[in-house]
Amino acid sequence: MTIREILIHPDDRLRTIAQPVTFPLSDATRQIITDMADTMYDAPGVGLAAPQIGVSLQIAVTDTLWRSDEVRHDPDRPGGTRDLKVWLNPEFLWHSDGQETWEEGCLSVPETYGDVTRPAAVRLRWHDVEGKPHEHDFEGFDAVALQHEFDHLNGKLFIDYLSPLKRNMITKKMKKLFK
Q: Omega before 110 cis (within 30°)?
A: no
130 included as an active-site residue: no
Q: How far is the CB of 132 from Ni ion (least distance, A)?
A: 26
Stretch that binds Ni ion, among 26-34, 66-74, 102-110, 169-177 (CB under 5 A): 102-110
Q: Is 144 in the site for Ni ion (CB under 5 A)?
A: no
DSSP state of 43: T
CA distance 161 to 115: 9
d(CA 88, CA 21): 7
Binding region for Ni ion (CB under 5 A) out of 1-9, 61-69, 91-99, 104-112: 104-112
Contact between 106 and Ni ion by CB under 5 A: the answer reads yes
Using CB atoms within 10 Å of the CB of residue 176, give its burial: 0 to 12 exposed, 13 to 18 middle, 19+ buried.
exposed
Candidate ranges 21-29, 60-68, 99-107, 119-127; the one touching Ni ion (CB under 5 A): 99-107
Binding-site string for Ni ion from residue 13 to residue 52, where x marks contact by CB under 5 A and - marks none? ----------------------------------------
Report the distance separating Cα 117 and Cα 86, nearest Å. Answer: 25
The catalytic site residues sit at: 149
Using CB under 5 A, list all residues that contact Ni ion. Answer: 106
